[in-house]
Copies of this chain bind each other. A is one copy, B any other.
Amino acid sequence: MTVNTGNEAPDMAAFLLSPEELRQRRNTKWNQFPPDVIPSFIADMDFRVAPPVQAAILQSVEREDYGYQMRDGAKADRMLAGAFAARMEEAFGWKASADLVLPVSDLVQATYAAILTWSGPGDGVILQVPNYPPFRETLQTTGRRLIPLHMDERDGTYVFDLDRLETQIDANTRIFVLCNPQNPTGRVFSRDELEAVLAFAEKHDLLVISDEIHAELIYGDRPHIPFPALSPAAAARCVLLNSATKSFNIPGLRCAVMYFGTPELKAAYQARIPLRLTGSVNSLGIDATVAAWTQGQPWLDAVLAHLRTARDHLCGRLASELPGLRFHPPEATYLLWMDCSDLGIQGSAGDFFLDRAGVGFSRGEDFLPGAESRVRCNFATSLPILDEIVDRMVAALRSNAR
Residues of A with Cβ closer than 8 Å to B?
A: 21, 24-29, 31-32, 42, 44, 48-49, 54, 57-58, 60-61, 63-71, 73, 104-106, 108-109, 112-113, 116, 134, 137-138, 141-142, 249-255, 274-285, 288
Q: Are B277 and A253 in contact, CB atoms less than 8 angstroms apart?
A: no
Inside 8 A of A134's CB, which chain B residues have their CB? 276
A24 to B65, alpha carbons, bound, how many Å? 9
Cα distance, A251 to B252, chains bound together (Å): 18
Contact of A54 among B32, B64, B73, B285 (CB under 8 A): B64
Residues of B near A280 (CB, < 8 A) are: 105-106, 109, 254
Q: Is the CB of B25 within 8 A of A63?
A: yes
Tell me which residues across on chain B come within 8 A of A48, comparing CB atoms.
64
Most chain B beta carbons < 10 A, residue from A24, A61, A279: A279
Knowing A58-B61, A274-B141, A282-B105, say if A49 contacts B27 (CB, 8 Å). Answer: no
Interface contact A49-B67, CB-CB below 8 Å: no
Q: Are A279 and B282 in contact (CB under 8 A)?
A: no
Pair A71/B26 contact, Cβ less than 8 Å: yes
Chain B minimum-CB-distance residue to A17? B64
Is B277's CB under 8 angstroms from A113's CB?
yes
10 smallest beta-carbon distances between A and B, as pairs: A27-B67, A105-B279, A252-B283, A254-B282, A44-B67, A109-B279, A28-B68, A66-B250, A112-B277, A28-B70
The listed residue (B26, B66, B249) touching A251 by CB distance below 8 A is B66
Q: Which residues of B contact A21 (CB under 8 A)?
A: 63
Main secondary structure of the interface of A (DSSP, over half): mixed
Known: A109-B279, A112-B274. A253 touches B65 (CB 8 A): no
A selection of 15 A-B contacts at a CB cut-off of 8 Å is A26-B63, A26-B71, A27-B67, A28-B68, A28-B70, A44-B68, A49-B66, A57-B61, A105-B282, A106-B276, A108-B276, A109-B279, A252-B283, A253-B284, A282-B284
Compute how far the CA of A61 lies from the CA of B63 in the bound complex, rounded to whole angstroms: 14
B276 close to A69 (CB less than 8 A): no
Contact B249 A28 (CB under 8 A): no
CB-CB under 8 A from A255, the residues of chain B are: 282
* Interface contact A31-B73, CB-CB below 8 Å: yes
Residues from chain B with a CB closer than 8 A to the CB of A73 are 31
CB distance from A102 to the nearest CB of B (A): 12
Assess whether B279 is in contact with A279, with CB atoms less than 8 Å apart. yes
**A276 contacts which of B25, B68, B109 (Cβ < 8 Å)?**
B109
Q: Are A279 and B278 in contact (CB under 8 A)?
A: yes
